[in-house]
Structure 1
Amino acid sequence: MNIFWFLPTAGDSRYLGTTVGKREVTIEYLQQVAQAVDQLGYDGALLPTGRECEDSWVVASSLIPLTQRMKFLIAIRPGLNSPAIAARMATTFDRISGGRVLLNIVQGGNPVELAGEGLHLSHSDRYKLTNEFLTVWRKLFLEESVNFKGEYLDIRNGKLDHEPNQKPHPPLYLGGTSDSAYEVASEHVDYYLTWGEPVEIVKERIEKVRKLAEEKGRKVKFGIRFHVIVRQTEEEAWKAANELIKYVDDDVIEKTREKFKVFDSNAQNTMTSTSLTNKSSLEIRPGIWAGIGLAREGAGTAFVGNPHQVAENMRKYEEIGIDTFILSGYPHLEEAYNVAELLFPVLNKKK
């Protein structure tokens, strides 16, 4: 079982839906979180992307000399740079870090934000672009010269002059719940990622991607994104969960609802709906809590419980094929220690 943490490049807090307890993004704070990840035995950390986030490539690059073993799962957004430049960036990072870069292929779900970055494509067209992008990106690592003419990309004599540490290229990750996402994942990536939905739904998604990959003669691994609230006792864990959203009132929930009306991401709409339609009973499965999605975008569910309860839930996902868990908690520095000290021993996770 691989366990990753999360670098809060858009800020951190003790509470959701309020400025109370807010921590601004500083490089000093991100260094503390990264060094905790590196020293506590996590396999790596996800760096998010988006207008509210500090740039993931710049932040991750600054942390290379301050860490020794953790891997950096860094976002690439096809359409915002060329596959050749992205391949060169990944190779440089991989060489400098000693083979510690992973690439998260992100489509973006907010058309308004994407338009502000100069990308004016529909949901389905973004996946068509991504398919072309990854076709070229992978070829650059395997072929001496790449020529490609598609609907969106025109590459002539593309070359990559340096080799990465990881062969044939740094691993690729991609999430999404549309048929387009399943097709691209099965064709190109090493890991298909999903958010923390009930295990039976995740199993269906895994089976779809696995079948599509097998039809293409490929194998894909699987990861999942969850928050986690683990304490010595179940009572303490649920108290911490309720404390986290104590400032989330009807106004905050309505702002969340309005924000996501423009999103065209299937995965985000599903995650948001999970929280907003279960306000009266946020524990959607035993020990699976949707409270976080009331006030933030992205992953909205959390494992909640004592170490044995959380481990038991994680193993249910492991049994259906998940081998990588990307976890997070508020605030991220303290919760990185909580998870490592309480949960790792139960999971037999060693430094």
Structure 2
Amino acid sequence: MTDSPDFLIPVPTRGDGRDPLRRDRGDWQPAARRPLPALVTDLRPGAFGPFEHLAQIGRAAEIAGLGGALVPFDPAGEESLVVAAGLLRQSRHLRVVAGFHPGIATPVYAAKFSASLQRFVDNRLGWQVDIGLDPAIARSQGDFLQGADRYARAEEFLTVARGVWNEEGYTYEGRFYQVLAGGFQPPNSGLPFPRVYLTGTSSDALAVSARHADVHLFTGDQDVAAGIAELGARSAEAGRRLEYGLRLPVLARDDDDEAWDEARRLWNIIGGTGDGLPDPDPRTGLWHGFGRIADSAKPGLVGSYETVAAGIRGYLDQGVTTFVLEARPHIEETYRLGERLLPLFAKEIEHAH
């Protein structure tokens, strides 16, 4: 292994909480709040707003030593670019990846917005461009492109965004975008372009990643090894080298029994039974129960910090170097991961530097 593992956390844009049925942190699900006793005066209304909880998560990631945060595009949640800008401005070192889809704006506007933000936050902004949206969600956002056209537009979007970013007097004529004598001037020129994260396993998705991604993110239910092999060949043809990442739910505790007891507790809150708790996949070691306890359809790792670290090392050996670790509730679990899991990778990080 020659690359240092990079650990990020996702930021919840639709509430957070200690159990799967309560997501009232961040002023979501106000009906689910536990009322304070009459003898307690709450001084926070008007002073502690919905962003403060997200800011605490970003601060936790920074203090705990994680490399960054991912704010996902979520049409039912807070606007990811606004949240990302807030997290970047209230932190000193945290890198923040903002998720959005190409239909959100013209590539020129997206690049201009990002150039200003890069200047203000010392170049810590990344992009996750979500191309393959569910058609119903895409239409709800006013985007009616389908099939291969979505990837063709994304290709043009990223081409134009980089073009105006890097070249004064930039001109482009495409199917979806046209620019005549565009491009940025100082002080918004000459900045590092946002690090681009892309996803997907279709041929169209891999083709766009090979030409434009800095990091391609997989999930545990995908064939990561095959995806890396194909993307490596495609990116080499394009004269580029990609990095690879994984979105991975985790539930880690001091020992395996404690971790599984917590998984069972959360499972029972939803209404399941302890006997019905599914076993992890014997082939991969991944557990598919996070969809029930953490609103994540992706399989992940349950166990002691050492068990989870061993699972992550298996992906490191395959070439994955970026890990988006999903764990609820976000503030508490971020500190746990930083204090107990990351030190197990100290040698890998020290060797890389």
In structure 2, the partner of 1:117 is 141
2:236 aligned with 1:189, yes or no? Answer: no
Amino acid at match of 2:343: P
Alignment of 1:136-215 (within 5 A): 136-162=160-186, 168-197=192-221, 201-215=223-237
In structure 2, the partner of 1:96 is 120
Which one-letter code corresponds to 2:105 in the other structure?
N
Alpha-carbon shift at residue 51 of structure 1 (Å): 1.4
C-alpha deviation, 1:30, in angstroms = 0.7
The letter for the 2-side match of 1:218 is R
* Cα distance between partner residues in 2 of 1:297 and 1:249: 15
Say yes or no: does 1:128 pair with 2:152. yes
CA contact (8 A) 1:222 1:324 kept: yes
Q: CA deviation at 1:163?
A: 5.7
Match of 2:336? 338
Specify the alignment match of 1:262 in structure 2. none
Kept after mapping to 2: 8 A contact 1:287/1:310: no
Q: Which runs of 4+ in 1 moved over 3 A?
A: 162-168, 247-250, 279-282, 294-299
Task: Name which of 15, 18, 38 aligns with 1:14.
Answer: 18
Aligned-partner Cα distance in 2 for 1:187–1:249? 46
| 1:1-351 equivalent positions in 2, closer than 5 A | 1-16=5-20, 18=21, 20=22, 22-25=24-27, 26-162=50-186, 168-197=192-221, 201-249=223-271, 281-285=278-282, 287-294=285-292, 300-348=298-346
Please give the alpha-carbon distance, in whole angstroms, between the structure 2 residues aligned to 1:98 and 1:221.
22
- CA–CA separation in structure 2 for the residues paired with 1:193 and 1:130: 16
Contact kept in structure 1, 2:102 and 2:154, CA below 8 Å: yes
Q: Which runs of no fewer than 5 residues in structure 1 stay unpaired?
A: 251-278
TM-score by length of 1: 0.84
Is contact 1:94-1:165 (8 Å) kept?
A: no
How far residue 139 of structure 1 moved from its aligned partner, in angstroms, is 1.5
- Distance (whole Å) between structure 2 residues aligned to residue 99 and residue 67 of structure 1: 12
SS in 2 for 1:313: helix
* Separation (CA, whole Å) in 2 of partners of 1:167 and 1:190: 16
Distance in 1, Cα, partners of 2:293 & 2:138: 21
TM-score (norm 2): 0.84
Q: CA RMSD for the aligned pairs? A: 2.2
Relative to structure 2, which stretch is displaced further, 145-154 or 227-236? 145-154
In the superposition, relative to structure 1, how do residues 110 and 297 fare at CA in structure 2: closer, same or farther (>3 Å)?
farther
Deviations 1:56-99 (CA, angstroms, capped at 9, x unpaired):
11112223342111100111311220110111111111110111
Work out the CA distance in 1 between the residues paired with 2:100 and 2:60.
25
- Tell me how far 1:344 sits from its aligned partner: 1.4
Q: Separation in 1 of the partners of 2:72 and 2:240?
A: 27
Query: Which range moved further: 90-99 or 154-163?
Result: 154-163
Amino acid in structure 2 at the alignment position of 1:233: D
Tell me which amino acid in the other structure corresponds to 1:242. Answer: R
Contact 2:250 2:300 in 1 (8 A): yes
Instruction: Tell me, yes or no, if the aligned pair for 2:170 and 2:183 is still in contact at 8 Å.
Output: yes
In the alignment, residue 260 of structure 2 is paired with which amino acid?
A: W
The alignment of Structure 1 onto Structure 2 pairs a total of residues equal to: 318
Whole-angstrom distance in 2 between the partners of 1:168 and 1:45: 19
Task: Give 1:245's aligned amino acid.
Answer: W
Equivalent pair of 1:226/1:326 in contact (CA under 8 Å): yes
State the SS of the aligned residue for 2:217.
Answer: strand
Which one-letter code corresponds to 1:319 in the other structure? Answer: D
Find the aligned partners of 1:101 and 1:329 in 2 and give their Cα distance: 22
In terms of Rg, which structure is larger? Answer: 2
Q: Distance in 2 between matches of 1:319 and 1:179?
A: 25
Q: Is the 8 A contact 2:247 2:323 kept in 1?
A: yes
**What is the match of residue 37 of structure 2?**
none
Look up the SS of the partner of 2:73 in the other structure: coil
Relative to structure 1, is the Cα distance of residues 284 and 22 closer, same or farther in structure 2, using a 3 angstrom cutoff? farther
Once the 2 structures are TM-superposed, how far is the Cα of residue 161 of structure 1 from its aligned partner?
2.4
| Per-residue deviation, 1:49 | 1.1
